[in-house]
Structure 1
């Protein structure tokens, strides 16, 4: 069901399919860690040209590493630092075409060249971020930003049903 070659529509159609698949994975499952893990795995198999995808969960004034796919990553990121912390402090999705030009970028994987970070909200408040890195310069565009924001909004709607270590 989740094999990459099954995505044969337009990018927009494929993103719609992934969002429906996300609902199928998280609906009725109360464990946030499991839901974040499945969401990261789903995006990892769907998106081309990425080398890291995962979540950071907001705890106080810092983001703490949550479920991800990729190389080991930074464990704690203060709000306002790096792309992830900046996305939280601004409260908006950030697309960085070249991370080496982003002031204060935190390099966890030297192979990463571009990044998108999407705030994850529940009940109107930011509870974490979705973070995706790519070795390709300018990998992410407006279509990615729009649909990954919808993906995060969908996941956020199920946050309140959740519990577990990430909650």
Structure 2
């Protein structure tokens, strides 16, 4: 199994390689669920010290659980509620160092201590969010944010509504 610590180079180089791997993995596949499934599996394999990695999709004016790696999760999240709903409403990445300090945090896994949520937009429309949780506080650095946002940019080339 390859994890982030298995990749050579600095964090930026590691994330660049991960994005290339994602692009190659999804090349030629048009099924959205298959692509999200492989994307969550690839990220879950790459990232150290995480306990949940997956997608919530924007459907019927809410976020609905999509492909993920980890323990069973909340199925429905209202736009504007919790970290995922807030990132979706603002359409901006949110990094939370301590989920217990985030007002309205939705605790699907009691082990989660920190979180990053990156919105996914296609042609200016909200498609969903990528949600990653960690069992340690302050897990996600600015390098992680940049790398995961780039990962999402590559992913959107392989998604459609």
Query: Structure 2 matches for 1:13-162, cutoff 5 A?
Result: 13-160=13-160
Tell me the TM-score normalised to structure 1 length. Answer: 0.92
Post-superposition CA distance 1:26-50 (Å, at most 9, x none): 1210111110000000000100010
Which consecutive unaligned segments of at least 5 residues does structure 1 have? 161-166
Misfit runs of 4+, over 2 Å: 2-6
What is the TM-score normalised by the length of structure 2?
A: 0.95
> What's the Cα RMSD here?
1.2
The count of corresponding residues between Structure 1 and Structure 2 is 160
Q: Partners in 2 of 1:133 and 1:3 — Cα distance?
A: 19
Tell me, what secondary structure is at the counterpart of 1:159? coil
What's 1:3 paired with?
A: 2
**Alpha-carbon distance in 2 for matches of 1:118, 1:10:** 22
Give yes or no for contact 1:40–1:54 (8 Å, CA) kept in 2. yes
Q: Is the 8 Å Cα contact of residues 87 and 119 (structure 1) preserved in structure 2?
A: yes
SS state at 2:64 partner? strand
Quote how far apart the aligned CAs of 1:77 are.
Answer: 0.3
Query: Deviation at 1:6?
Result: 4.5
Q: CA deviation at 1:60?
A: 2.4
CA distance in 2, matches of 1:155, 1:128: 12
